[in-house]
Chains A and B, each alone.
Chain A
């Protein structure tokens, strides 16, 4: 790969890839990189995706992140977001302060729930998201304090817990992929534990293993995360002209 491709652009494309094949559903991104990924996917290989402004409107056309010139194509207030996710017509990419090998994730608090060392957001819509619609994650800093053996509060349901619930939830549960500053991972291993899918340019398997606090499934050969196509590069520039994506990636 050419040295001229920025890591943030590789990651943006890795995020966009999460929505490949999703068709006409709500592609929801919680955060700059997540939003960029969704909008790049729609601008290029997944044109039927629905994208919101993060407030209350579906937006047609390539809205830059933070842009105000909105071409509204629909209304999606919070109540409709809830309806849409319960109907399974949504794929959200969230962040996570902790995640374990089966994809149980935590945005709520660090330390014991009864008296947290650090109170974060609360579970928000994580429980409902992860049992109702497809969920992916972008985690800007791949490290053992985030990739943990068990999370302090399960705000997003992982495969082991979904299987325990059984029925509809076990059958439809769909954690799609995890994109970090080092690699792309998914849950398509035989027991749905996290596995390595690709390494970003210059990253070794060892780098990922050292920074992961649980055992990963590692295939015999791991490809390098692909660079953007010229069309995708153009879309990235249009959607993030200020380069906000570079600030998302730790130095």
Chain B
């Protein structure tokens, strides 16, 4: 496709179009933190695909739980998997307890940041103390140390760089070209996930797609950590982080998160949950969530 300099590239695509560019065996980074601002509509699209054998890098929440439950994860690079208000992620726990993740790779939180930062800078590694002396060194025998070449001579952990084949992040706002904005309290490490990713499959979903000239209407320039050179595809995904937080647009859907956890306890309940919410497309998911909420409300009303 030749570019038309008079017309900026419009990067708007759908979740399914983004996922269609992925292949089995790829390394995927997922932004957000725990059960906070996760690119859930992209994850849900990935669940509907045939893609498998993924290496997943994440400050894990329900994204990791769902991908584990669907058997899509070959290698998981993580420091924790948590739903925040509910500390333990049920699907991740089951996957670990049944040893169904072939290559669990458990690192310190700071090591994940360092690996992505090194990847983004195209460095082979970055040194740190985080991990030394801990069980991380015991369960990751391939990790190596490096000696400071200066007078101190300190032995440090060399965190190997991670380069991603694909990255998913969810933002509050984006223009059609991928200038994206977070309006909540923390960007987490979303900019690093995009920067550590090979160009081609860097995807940003956003609550609202807005004109470029509106980017400073709701937040200061400090909120523009993600620019279009870091992004290949933009997905309009209202409520796309559901059921995780997307402050200030919406908070966590705690009652839905609880229903998710309750369903995960029992294979039959999980099948029913999965059939209802995850078998259809994103529009079906969102409408089922609305219906579910009405049912809960009605049931509460009837109980009174």
- Chain A positions within 8 Å of B, measured between CB atoms, are 55-57, 75, 77-79, 82, 85-86, 106, 108-109, 113-128, 130-132, 153-157, 161-162, 164-169
Residue B224 CB within 8 A of the other chain: no
Q: A125 touching B186 by the CB < 8 A rule?
A: no
**Would A125 and B108 be within 8 Å (CB), given that A78-B188, A113-B139 are in contact?**
yes
Instruction: Compute how far the CA of A144 lies from the CA of B155 in the bound complex, rounded to whole angstroms.
Output: 36
Considering the chains assembled together, what is the distance between the CA atoms of A121 and B186 in angstroms?
21
Contact B82 A153 (CB under 8 A): no
B129 with A154: CB separation less than 8 A: no
Which A residues touch B128, using CB under 8 A?
86, 128
Contact B138 A154 (CB under 8 A): yes
- Give the A-B contact count at a CB cut-off of 8 A: 135
Query: Counting CB contacts under 8 A, is B185 at the interface?
Result: yes
> With contacts A109-B96, A117-B97 known, is A169 near B134, CB below 8 A?
no
Which of A108, A125, A131 sits near B135, CB closer than 8 Å? A108
Q: Which residue of A79, A85, A114, A123 contacts B134 across the interface (Cβ within 8 Å)?
A: A123
25 contacts across the A-B interface (CB closer than 8 A)? A56-B185, A56-B186, A77-B187, A78-B189, A79-B113, A106-B135, A115-B96, A115-B98, A119-B96, A120-B88, A121-B88, A122-B60, A124-B109, A126-B134, A127-B130, A130-B134, A131-B133, A132-B130, A153-B139, A154-B134, A154-B135, A165-B132, A167-B152, A167-B155, A169-B132
Question: B interface vs A, CB < 8 Å?
Answer: 33, 60, 78-82, 87-88, 92-93, 96-99, 106-111, 113, 128-136, 138-139, 152, 154-155, 185-189
| Distance from B256 Cβ to chain A, minimum over Cβ atoms (Å) | 21
Asked whether A124 and B97 contact (CB < 8 A) given A78-B186, A132-B129, A169-B133, the answer is no
CA gap between A99 and B19 in the complex, in Å: 44
In this complex, what residue of A is CB-closest to B191?
A79
Given A115-B97, A119-B97, A154-B138, residue A168 in contact with residue B130 (CB < 8 A): no
Q: In angstroms, how far is the closest chain B Cβ from the Cβ of A108? A: 7
A-side contacts of B132, CB under 8 Å: 127, 131, 157, 165, 169
Q: Give which listed residue, B79, B129, B133, B187, contacts A123 with CB less than 8 A.
A: B79
Q: Can you name 11 extra interface pairs (CB under 8 A) apart from A124-B109, A167-B154?
A: A78-B189, A85-B110, A113-B135, A116-B96, A121-B81, A122-B82, A124-B79, A124-B108, A127-B132, A131-B129, A169-B129
Which A residues are CB-close (under 8 A) to B33?
78
B93 and A127: CB pair below 8 A? no
List of A residues within 8 angstroms of B97 by Cβ: 115-119
Residues of A within 8 A of B186 (CB): 55-56, 77-78
B251 to chain A, nearest CB (A): 11
- Please pick, from B81, B131, B135, B138, the residue contacting A128 in the complex, using a CB distance under 8 A: B131
Q: Which of chain A's residues has its CB closest to B108's CB?
A: A127
Chain B residues with CB under 8 A of A130: 134
Q: Decide: A123 and B92 in contact? CB cutoff 8 A.
A: no
Identify B109's interface contact among A82, A108, A162, CB under 8 A: A82
Assess the B82–A123 pair: CB atoms within 8 A.
Answer: no
**Residue from A56, A114, A120, A161 within 8 A of B133 (CB atoms):** A161
